[in-house]
Amino acid sequence: MTVSFKGRALERADRISTFYVLEDWALNKDHANRIFLKFKGKSWTYRQAYELALKYGTWFKQKYGIKKDEIVAMDFVNSDIYIWVWFGLWSIGAKPAFINYNLTNRPLIHTIKTSTARYCFAMEQFRREKYDGEVLDELSGPNFRDAGGPVEVVFLDAATRAEIEAVMPVRAPDSERGGQQLKGMALLIYTSGTTGLPKPAIVSWSKACMAGWFVSKWLPIKPEDTFYTCMPLYHSSGSLLGMTSALRAGASFSLGERFHRKGFWDDCRATDATIIQYVGETLRYLLSVPPSPSDRNHKVRTAFGNGLRPDVWPVFKERFGIETIVEFYAATEGPAALWNKSKNKYTEGAVGVSGILNQLLGAPAQVILLDFETNAPIRDKKTGLCIPVKPGQPGELIYKLDEKEIDATFQGYFGNNKATSSKIHRDVLKKGDAYFSTGDLLRKDSEGRWYFCDRIGDTFRWKSENVSTAEVAEVMGRISLINEANVYGVQIPGHDGRAGCAALVLQDEQKPLTESELAEIGAQATKGLPRYAVPIFLRVHRGDAAAANRTGTMKQQKTVLRNEGVNPALVSKSGDELFWLPPNSKAYQRFGEKEWNALGAGTVKL
């Protein structure tokens, strides 16, 4: 409720832009000289950051004529420049479109095109790495943009940055940033692309303002804190929940260029970090580094993020001496979130806890039954309405929308009405209502604790049972030989449904698996899972294969793995090894062309 009042007050005052938060701290004589940003051994005060934002904004207007409300693409790795470009655009009322710096070729072209931007500002090193040749040729075509005209890519090399920093900063008048509504666009952030090409999600001013404000109060973050992240700023976790949360609190924001498991704690110690941010499998990778006497030699009290697996949670806290885990569940385009600030075993592993706070924040959450064959809600044959689950039963998490003004809380995907409509369920609990479809399976127990089960489409059916890939991955991840498990279903000739396959990263990635180790994996999997859920196949990653199946935010990707299945001819190209659990066997064995052909001929039935 407080969050809603805060937003409406900013809207009435016509000061919605988060640029004003930076300005207020910079012009506060007691705060202006406090450190705002730490990056690669350098630091900038709030006053210095504000002046740089104004310089960049002035340069954008004077040299390129960038206008209020214009969308501008930006393609950078984490850096101080990223923040100056971002806030420079906000200072003149423009709208940044954050490009995933990992994208190349067709996905990169698609992402820039869907932004509708006239200009894309990018790192100099990307000129050769990503843009030279076909990409730049296509972007510069006279009819590349749907509205007509090319996209001009401007590379910010050292000379250009020096030119910008020599500019006399001019603060654009408030009218350049004015007239905005809470539901209006603040920026574009692209979906992670785990289910296809990235889509531009509209981030409203309501989210841009309130996400950082809420997190800063809830963690809480104090002006004396240093918030450290090396999660990519092109994602809402690093930018909105990371940087703007530190900014709202008037704290220091310590930024790492990229995640490096061996240098992570050195960065934390060097910058006196008190709060760290994680996404996906980040904390699992930190545990994969051999223990050190300096593991607890830091000032971090809180780890904040999303996607922490239950098997990693207690081990990470114990090894590194972390007092509090703050886990949340959200989607960039979603209208609400789940939250869990955990200091004890009671809430360990939960992505959210429903209490008074959850009732007051965001749209009411419901969980409905899902047909796992069609991935569509199951509807009552008489009423045509969806069916709520019972406590502890998994189903799709959905959030209530105002059916009369859906865009007040769900702005959808920029320029893509079809994708936006696909995320809305109608006639859910009563005729005419509307709910946001998260595309995820969750369950809530009788005590209000929420647990992530799986992404819809990842859960598969085998032996007439539903298999949750997340639950299988958790059990496999607890086996001492295994560092990471990515679980998915594969089609097998002559068999209904999909058989389970676990793509594994071993603790020792180079060492071949012995017969006794294969037997141990089989024994532990069989002990921890129902028989139908035990992975029949193992795909052991070697070299860089595992990294190729992760997004930039450490989320596992399954599409390529699922498409290759367990066909040895396809899998062997990556250098990975295949194993299987033959019928009536307790130990995994090597799987190759002979075994694949036997399945295809029907001489072996699983």
Residue 152 Cα distances to 124, 138, 204, 536, 572, angstroms = 14, 11, 26, 51, 42
pLDDT at 7: 78
Provide the Cα torsion 10, 12, 17, 20; round to 10°.
-70
Residues lower than pLDDT 50 in the chain: 1, 362
Ramachandran angles phi, psi of 57, nearest 5°: -60, -40
Task: List, by residue range, all CATH 3.30.300.30 domains of the chain.
Answer: 458-601
- Strand 338-342, strand 449-455: pairing: unpaired
Task: List, by residue range, all CATH 2.30.38.10 domains of the chain.
Answer: 356-454
pLDDT at 552: 64
pLDDT at 577: 93
pLDDT at 478: 87
Task: List, by residue range, all CATH 3.40.50.980 domains of the chain.
Answer: 2-258
pLDDT at 362: 46
pLDDT at 1: 46
- 364 DSSP 8-state letter: P
- Percentages helix, strand, coil for the chain, rounded to the nearest 5? 35, 25, 45
For domain 356-454, give the CATH number: 2.30.38.10
CATH of 2-258, one of 1.10.8.80, 3.40.50.720, 3.40.50.980, 3.20.20.70: 3.40.50.980
| Dist CA 177 CA 85 (whole Å) | 16
CATH superfamily of 458-601: ANL, C-terminal domain (3.30.300.30)
